[in-house]
Amino acid sequence: MSQLVEYVHGCNKRRKRSSPEQRVFRFKSFCEPGYPAEFDGPFWKNVKALLEFGHMERNLRSNGMLSWSFQLEVHRHRPDHRLFLFVIEEPIEASLYRYCRHCRYIGWGQHMICNMKYHFVVPSKETAAMAPTCLSCQGSNNYCCDGTILATRRSTSSLVELEGHALHGVFHCNGFGHLLCVNGFEMGSDLSGHQIMDFWDRICTGLRARKVSLADISQKKKSMDLRLLHGLTDGGPWFARWDYRFGRGSFGVTELMYQKSIQALQNIPICLLLHHFSPSDNYLQVIFSRYQALCDYALITLSDLFRFMLELRSRLPKEAGHTDLFNPGILLETSCRWSPKRVEMATRVIVEALKRAEPKWVSRQEVRDAARAYIGDTGLLDFVLKSLGNHVVGKYLVRRSLNPVTKVLEYCLEDVSISHDHGLMVREPKSNMMVVTRVQLANDILYLYKATFRERKSGPTSGLGSTISIASRVVLDSKHLVKEFDCSEGLPPRGNLVVGDQLVDVLCTLQLKNKQAMLPYESLKVKASMTIEELKREVEKLFKDMYWGLQGLVIQSIVNLNVKDTDFVRGVIEEGQGVVLEGGISRDSIRYGNENKNGDVLLMQGWNVSEIGECHNQGHGCIDCACGAKEDDGERMVACDICEVWQHTRCVRIPNNEEVPQIFVCERCEQDIISPSLIM
């Protein structure tokens, strides 16, 4: 983000503040324990503690949202290299969208709507330029420091509505959050994706977030889907490095389906892949031979090959045009007890034997028997057969593959003289020494990817092609990830309450009619001398401040404890004990017209909880798709104009590049219409 840093730093020189100069924080340790503060409470309390260290941004205050900024020093030896983190407080009254679609997509629709959200934003230069006002000046005399008229800026979107930030995450005040945007080097940032994710992870851990979701919609790289590449090489998404796991699949995909698909792709034998595709694509064998020669262990599966190629790419220097890479285990001059001349002679004998059998595959034993007529040293033959497999000799490639039926090694020859156009080179002075350039490696990775995952116009085929097609589709449909944080990590250990304690840490929640906990447990520190009645009033206040639909909450009883209102907390509630409370909504605060004629309190059993939860349908009525989806997963849908049931457009064969039709009738309703007409 060098451009943004220069932009912001230039504005800093003209910055006018009525308050003391803003403090500069270390980027690499921001939100670590004790920096800038000890965060030892629940999330809502910790975020308020953090904002006390921020600078209130008057020029970003809009629509009832308050903003704070934190100036972060990325490099200690480059004081000019700084960036800004903005924290925007979004009250429910100022929110353009009351219901959180990200909660629905990840499966948190049962969560209640919170009174407050907190956006954490590191702008890019592009989003900084599009902000309602300059992010680094007061904009006096109706002009920002960059010359923009304030009235023009204020007509644009607010910072939380803009897309393309280097980082954008949002938390509900109950500690559940969503990572919305990460953009590293390739999107023009001066921070890598790893640096941004490490920074975000420190924020989540430090503030004691509960769970954070994200939608992995990684951009394709040279037409390669990164989710498939990381699934092949790492066994999971790129975000798994920070412990983000499968959260929820689209199109009815389950976690088991996802895991089985990853395993299926990773474990595809290369020999089977070559048998399947090589008849129409000889260059795949050339690619495999090239990198098997450079690798000092056997490349058996598709995962092995992709992983080695990507690791090799990380070792290649970016400056040099090419690098000499070789497998030291097959350098005959140093590791072979036979002279190069004898090895060369044995190699020619084996190649000639294979030429006579061309083009069929020959078992290892048959090749060995044919060569023994000329070479009596069986040890030499065994060495050459082991070293020669999948290597180039002259204009021929000696292909070696394990027969999937007989489980016997087989050899054959292939003329690869045309492959020199692809850059395949064998240096004669050093046996099996290969020259690989960074560009060539990138092209080979792309070629292998396209050959493996290419779309076939005739649709999924049987066998290996069908397996790859189905498994890759499942992986791509598993983009909603989630990470659960340990909120108790780093806190003092809890134990039984003793007389001298002043405060008790109580975990409290509300309960529905079906006796299931309705809300996440909230931590509340209360005086040990407090009565149960006073505790209920404190819990009321906590949930009223946190949840939009509980403004009229009245706690009536504690379900899981046999206590009286006059009892003291000390003696009946242990430190860290969970307390389940039951309550209702006072009649005067009913929002939805569900009056209770039997009293002034409307119990939760008769109260429409779904109206104040994130699961509100937002225009989607009944969802019942052929893929098995019953809830909104964020994918494009269409509703039948007769039964009004929603289905995915993909599942009803409406291409993504086509508009949703104005009139749509689902297959079931269409059959119901056709059937009576046939009877008549």
CATH 3.40.50.1390 fits 503-608, yes or no: no
**pLDDT (mean) for 455-483:** 81
**Separation in Å, CA 392 to CA 292, 366, 552, 579:** 12, 20, 80, 73
Look at 43-57, 61-75, 656-670 and tell me which has the smallest mean pLDDT: 61-75
CATH number, domain 617-680, options 3.30.40.10, 3.40.50.300, 3.40.50.1100, 3.30.43.10: 3.30.40.10
Residues 6+ apart with CB under 8 A from 121: 85, 86, 87, 88, 159, 160, 165, 167, 168
Residue 395 neighbours by CB distance under 10 Å: 13
Pairing between β-strand 176-182 and β-strand 211-215 as defined by DSSP bridges:
parallel
pLDDT for the residue numbered 244: 97
Two domains, one topology: 503-608 and 617-680? no
CATH 1.10.10 fits 328-431, yes or no: yes
User: Comparing 320 with 603, which gets the higher pLDDT?
Assistant: 603
Q: Kindly state the greatest CA–CA separation across the chain.
A: 105
Q: Which residue has the tokens 């001349």?
A: 341
pLDDT tens-digit series, residues 336-393 = 677 777 888 888 888 888 888 766 788 889 888 888 888 888 888 888 888 776 677 7
- Domains of the chain, residue spans: 2-217, 220-317+434-478, 328-431, 503-608, 617-680
User: Comparing 582 with 491, which gets the higher pLDDT?
Assistant: 582
Report how far residue 231's alpha carbon sits from residue 44's, in angstroms, rounded to the nearest whole number.
Answer: 36
Element (H, E) at 167: strand 167-172
Ranges 326-335, 568-577, 586-595, 643-652, most confident: 643-652
pLDDT for the residue numbered 637: 95
Structure confidence at residue 323 as a pLDDT band (50, 70, 90): very low
pLDDT for the residue numbered 143: 43
Q: DSSP secondary structure string, 297-331?
A: S---BHHHHHHHHHHHHHHS-SSSS-EEE--GGG-
- Residue 653, pLDDT > 60, answer yes
Ranges 460-464, 594-598, 670-674, most confident: 670-674
User: Comparing 622 with 455, which gets the higher pLDDT?
Assistant: 622
Look at 195-199, 317-321, 553-557 and tell me which has the smallest mean pLDDT: 317-321
Bridge partners of 504, per DSSP, are 526
- Residue 426, pLDDT > 60, answer no
Look at 169-173, 357-361, 594-598, 652-656 and tell me which has the smallest mean pLDDT: 594-598
pLDDT tens-digit series, residues 530-582 = 999 999 999 999 999 999 988 888 888 898 888 998 889 888 888 778 899 98
pLDDT for the residue numbered 490: 52
Report how far residue 241's alpha carbon sits from residue 194's, in angstroms, rounded to the nearest whole number.
Answer: 9
